[in-house]
Amino acid sequence: METFFAGNYDVIVVGAGHAGVEAALASARMNKKTLMLTINLDSIAMMPCNPSIGGTGKGHLVREIDALGGEMGINIDKTFIQSKMLNTAKGPAVHSLRAQADKVKYHIEMKKVVENCPLLDVKQAEVSEIIIEDYKVKGVITTIGSIYHGKAVVLATGTYLGGKIFIGSAVFQSGPNGLAPSLKLTDNLKTNAIDLRRFKTGTPARVNSRTLNYDKMQREDGDQKIVPFSFLNDQLDIEQVPCWLTYTNTTTHTIIETNFHRSALFSGEIEGTGPRYCPSIEDKINRFSDKNRHQLFIEPEGLDTNEMYVQGMSTSMPEDVQLAFMRTIPGLENVEIMRPAYAIEYDCIDPTQLKLSLEFKNIDGLFSAGQFNGSSGYEEAAAQGLIAGINAVLKIDNKEPFILDRSEAYIGVLIDDLVTKGTEEPYRMMTSRSEYRLLLRQDNADLRLTEKAYQIGLASKERYDKVVHKVQAIKEEMERIENTLIKAKDINPFLLENGSSELRDSITIANLLKRPEIFYDMINQFDINRPDLREDIWKQCEISIKYQGYIEKQLRQVEKFKSLENKKIIDINYNDVEGLRIEARQKLKAIQPNSVGQASRISGVSPADISVLLVYMDYKRRSKNV
């Protein structure tokens, strides 16, 4: 094949999905000449699976991406068609925003952003080779012979690498949504000693909205009061569209059970490991045979299409079986399939090969992000892409990497879990994965992260100034409510009406808000000097007061966590550490943790091993001081 030199870049991003676009935008916005390559320009920020952004745990990631200067939150605010805050019956730590997207508009708007971003070139090409010399990345080569030189490369191949589709007995090579797969890069990565594995995911059928009977399904509307994803938006107001709830039944299950043998999942065709938390419908029925029904949400894919997404019914069954069992479901009796469900198998890496910066340990300047790292979901991908793009720039500038730890962000939890613990199945972010979730709420992501992003040159001055003003407003309001008294005789009737005990003496607003049944927006009539504040400001005050004891407890836990994180591990030969178990020694050598804290989270490293390591580190320190 003839080759030709096509250009020099600082950062080259391979892939233009949710990880790729965030990586490329971060790099370009940090003033680096950036190239983003994709097999098909029509796949930029494509949503090959569910038409939504956010959800439990995932909404936290989107808010953090936005606080750091990323694009996902801004883009979904432009293109959503329904918005809902999940888990509102629980505490604020697990409140999670989720928005249905017009998926075509989401793609179009993101494509506009990347195409018009200064210093960012977007080109359609399949990368077949990463140029690596002396364990240092030098650029990429495409399948048509174009050679691009780069100081850093970010791999964000998603589910395209070695993509294989399964629909019953039909098996063929393909990327998601009928697009071309990447078939040549895998061998090149293996040649460079990158450890690959096969994972699997899947997506439900898309059905024709004109063939549904909505009278037989339960209507699910969005929230009347819309909470934006982006902290740059104070409010949004659009006419939302409904989703619909229905259920499988015993007849549905019987058809599926009868055809288990025709599922690619059970026939042995699929080699890759799929996600336990998001099983296919046949897997659900096989594993939960005691359940008579499973819920399904029928979700619109956009305003200008008849396609509806059947959430909860991922499958690799043949199309005739898909049609048969769907027609047993209330509201879907006459359904017509527009795109059949499928499973997709793809190549990804063992993420323990990466540093916390998402750079490969053994290849200088090569970074990795998204589903290629063994995660699942648009939000997890975008979060990693953003961090990989930031760190590619910092690497070029010879600066320390930008690393968020577990106490600072859900993004820190996500990356630490992948890099330190690894994953044996596609990894999904959930609120339960965070030890400090009361501190890492989605509502305070800007207060936690925007200053950090501004310092590294990613968050804009406008965004930073907005946070500074918000911090000041919160401080002033906290001082006011801690010092403003309400007389007992004025508020006692109100307290009795709301099931709260009477007062004998005056009380500060802050102490009043400590009562679980009393909220800030209930006491306007008694708080006559209240300033006109945005809800996000007074909500911060309310949460700080109501959860003060719990927040202080978590802060003390963070202090203990930081004490181990701050014990850095530098130049230790684990073969010299007497008393370490063989498994611990092997794991520590493989992972090469940055700190004792990270070492303590490695699977196979016990508390006793950590004690041995601490003793050895203390011995080394004292030896140097002698």
- How many CB atoms are closer than 10 A to CB 131? 17
User: Has residue 211 been placed in a domain?
Assistant: yes
User: Has residue 478 been placed in a domain?
Assistant: yes
- pLDDT for 273 equals 79
The number of helix segments (H) and strand segments (E) in the chain equals: 20, 22
Residues 589, 548, single domain; the answer is: no
Residues 580, 549, single domain; the answer is: no
User: Has residue 510 been placed in a domain?
Assistant: yes
Q: In the chain, which stretches have pLDDT less than 70?
A: 625-626
User: Has residue 37 been placed in a domain?
Assistant: no
The CATH number covering residue 592 comes to 1.10.150.570
**What does the H/E/C string look like for 528-566?**
CCCCCCCHHHHHHHHHHHHCHHHHHHHHHHHHHHHHHHC
User: Has residue 550 been placed in a domain?
Assistant: yes
Nearest CA among 547, 463, 526 for reference residue 91: 547
Number of domains in the chain: 3
Residues 550, 586, single domain; the answer is: no
Q: How far apart are CA 545 and CA 134, in angstroms?
A: 56
In 15-51, where do the E strands start and end?
Answer: 34-38
Residues 490, 616, single domain; the answer is: no
- pLDDT for 104 equals 97
Q: How far apart are CA 332 and CA 217, in angstroms?
A: 9
- pLDDT for 371 equals 96
Residues 529, 611, single domain; the answer is: no
Maximum C-alpha span of the chain: 89
- pLDDT for 626 equals 52
Residues 583, 522, single domain; the answer is: no
- DSSP letters, 398-456, are T-------TTT-HHHHHHHIIIII--SS-B---GGG-TTTTTS-GGGHHHHHHHHHHHT
Determine if the pTM surpasses 0.85. Answer: yes
Mark which of 343, 373, 402 sits at the end of a domain: 343
Q: How many CA atoms, within 13 angstroms, populate the side-chain half-sphere of residue 618?
A: 6
Domain membership of residue 586 as a residue range: 567-625
User: Has residue 523 been placed in a domain?
Assistant: yes
Mark which of 285, 319, 343 sits at the end of a domain: 343
- pLDDT for 337 equals 98
Mark which of 295, 326, 343 sits at the end of a domain: 343
8 Å CB contact between 38 and 175: no
Q: How far apart are CA 308 and CA 588, in angstroms?
A: 48
Residues 490, 585, single domain; the answer is: no
- pLDDT for 271 equals 76
Residues 496, 620, single domain; the answer is: no
Q: Which bin fits 530, alpha (ψ -120 to 50), beta or left (φ > 0)?
A: beta
The CATH number covering residue 545 comes to 1.10.10.1800
The CATH number covering residue 289 comes to 2.40.30.260
Return the SS3 of 316.
coil
User: Has residue 34 been placed in a domain?
Assistant: no
User: Has residue 301 been placed in a domain?
Assistant: yes
